[in-house]
């Protein structure tokens, strides 16, 4: 991470014209502090009379020191997968619903970002997943995921069957609607909805969460973050592997999905005093009396 920050990118929620006003207001503030400001080229489509250069995400990754994302968790997931390869730190301003990854608000973003520009921030490294689909020992597809890699049946009533191995050792055979391989970040997403545990993001672990398993003894399991996970498809119908609900690939009988920790991580910046537990209380309404 390069600090002090000099080149800053602003990225808004895709196809959301309402992001224009707060984004341009923030851009003017950053520019007044002497920073070089650029905007994402897709965001630029909603900015009438935008005076700032518009760059693609690939160009942003090559040229900026900091990216500020105005959107929800879905926006942050998409941006993080791309910019993590360039180790660009990310700040999230919540314009979505829950906002597990975007802890600033439109009301407090300017004061908090001003403090961050002065070095008052907490940097956090988050685990990223890499997955490959192997077909007859040849890689036919690969992708990255910040939340989870999911093997899942499509719109059919038939369960899928698969074998799971961890570091080459047989774990189990499973009949279920699917299997979630989640990072600690993703443990508050699909994994939590399927009954998996919430994992603190500082943990170097992965979790495997069966989706509606046919055998009730098949429970979620947490494994070391350096593990190599192999999922061998033993029965297909209409089945695919999905990466953060963003991209997917159709699977065939005997395909093997190999999931590992990606060598790069995602760098998130938080205000000083940020608390993961406070965030959970707020987002999950744990502080409300029943």
The catalytic residues are 73
Is residue 4 reached through a cis peptide bond, with omega within 30 degrees of 0 on the bond before it?
yes
Interacting residues of 274 by C-beta distance below 8 A, sequence separation 6+: 103, 122
* Distance in angstroms (rounded) separating the CA atoms of residues 265 and 129: 9
Phi and psi at 77, nearest 5°, equal: -60, -45
Of 185, 182, 161, 188, residue with least CA distance to 173: 161
* Distance in angstroms (rounded) separating the CA atoms of residues 237 and 155: 10
- Per the structure block, which two tokens stand in for 221? 């399991």
* Distance in angstroms (rounded) separating the CA atoms of residues 225 and 203: 8
* Distance in angstroms (rounded) separating the CA atoms of residues 176 and 231: 13
The percent helix, strand, coil of the chain (3-state, each to 5) is: 25, 40, 40
Longest dimension (CA), the chain: 61
In contact, 126 and 146? CB cutoff 8 Å: yes
> What residue has token string 């992965």?
206
* Distance in angstroms (rounded) separating the CA atoms of residues 242 and 226: 21
Pairing between β-strand 36-40 and β-strand 54-55 as defined by DSSP bridges: parallel
């Amino acid at each position: 991470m390069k600090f002090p920050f000099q080149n800053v990118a602003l990225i808004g929620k895709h196809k959301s014209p309402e992001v224009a006003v707060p984004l341009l207001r923030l851009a003017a503030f950053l520019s007044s502090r002497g920073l070089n400001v650029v905007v994402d080229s897709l965001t630029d489509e909603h900015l009438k009379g935008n005076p700032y250069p518009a760059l693609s995400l690939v160009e942003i990754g090559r040229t900026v020191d900091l990216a500020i994302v105005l959107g929800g968790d879905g926006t942050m997931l998409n941006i993080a997968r791309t910019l993590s390869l360039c180790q660009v730190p990310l700040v999230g301003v919540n314009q979505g619903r829950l906002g597990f990854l975007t802890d600033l608000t439109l009301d407090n973003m300017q004061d908090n970002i001003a403090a961050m520009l002065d070095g008052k921030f907490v940097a956090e490294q988050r685990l990223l997943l890499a997955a490959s689909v192997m077909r007859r020992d040849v890689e036919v597809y690969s992708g990255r995921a910040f939340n989870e890699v999911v093997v899942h049946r499509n719109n059919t009533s038939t369960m899928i069957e698969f074998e799971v191995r961890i570091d080459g050792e047989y774990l189990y055979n499973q009949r279920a609607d699917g299997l979630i391989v989640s990072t600690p970040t993703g443990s508050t997403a699909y994994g939590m909805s399927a009954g998996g545990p919430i994992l603190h993001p500082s943990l170097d672990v992965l979790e495997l969460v069966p989706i509606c398993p046919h055998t009730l003894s098949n429970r979620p399991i947490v494994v070391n973050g350096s593990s190599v996970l192999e999922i061998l498809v033993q029965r297909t119908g209409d089945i695919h592997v999905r990466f953060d609900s963003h991209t997917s690939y159709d699977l065939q009988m005997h395909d093997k999905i190999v999931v590992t920790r990606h060598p790069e991580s995602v760098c998130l910046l938080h205000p000083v005093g940020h608390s993961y537990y406070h965030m959970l209380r707020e987002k999950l309404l744990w502080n409300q009396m029943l």
